[in-house]
């Protein structure tokens, strides 16, 4: 008994699902290739934008490193039950701290932007 019969699907339904998944995979990988290709074409024609993008990525990487260093590696009983070790806990903590920092920077930027527009 195969998976389709076990779930009560006809052969036609099972084939339609399989071909639909294959089609979605093709679309996904095609879009990833298009994104990378268009990015490289744009980067070759406008290097100033590429440098700014690299600086932004570097700032985010530095922010994550600082967040990772600040995070703790404590484990709760529920984390142990889910199989999370100390390194995973530290990585999750670093991600959360980075999220909080970027969230508050975004909120402050929004408030500053609205106040500066109102004063003009």
Identify the burial level of 94 via C-beta atoms within 10 angstroms of its C-beta, where 0-12 means exposed, 13-18 middle and 19 or more buried: buried
pTM value surpassing 0.75: no
101: left (phi over 0), alpha (psi -120 to 50) or beta: alpha
Rounded to whole angstroms, the Cα distance separating 76 from 85 reads 10
Rounded to whole angstroms, the Cα distance separating 35 from 42 reads 11
Rounded to whole angstroms, the Cα distance separating 8 from 14 reads 10
- Please report, for the chain, the start and end positions of each structural domain, with discontinuous segments joined by +: 1-45, 47-120
Q: Are 67 and 97 in contact (CB under 8 A)?
A: yes
Q: What is the pLDDT along the chain (120 residues), one digit of tens a residue?
A: 477 777 777 878 888 888 889 999 999 999 999 999 988 888 788 778 788 888 999 999 999 999 999 998 888 888 888 888 888 899 999 999 999 999 999 999 999 999 999 998
């Amino acid at each position: 008994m195969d998976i389709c019969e076990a779930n009560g699907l006809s052969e036609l339904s099972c084939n339609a699902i399989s071909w639909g998944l294959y089609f979605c995979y093709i679309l996904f990988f095609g879009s990833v290739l298009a994104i990378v290709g268009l990015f490289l074409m744009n980067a070759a024609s406008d290097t100033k934008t590429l440098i700014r993008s690299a600086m932004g990525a570097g700032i985010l990487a530095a922010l994550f490193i600082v967040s990772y260093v600040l995070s703790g590696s404590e484990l709760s009983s529920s984390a142990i039950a889910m199989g999370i070790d100390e390194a995973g806990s530290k990585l999750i903590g670093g991600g959360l701290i980075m999220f909080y920092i970027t969230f508050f920077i975004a909120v402050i930027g929004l408030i500053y932007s609205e106040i500066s527009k109102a004063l003009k």
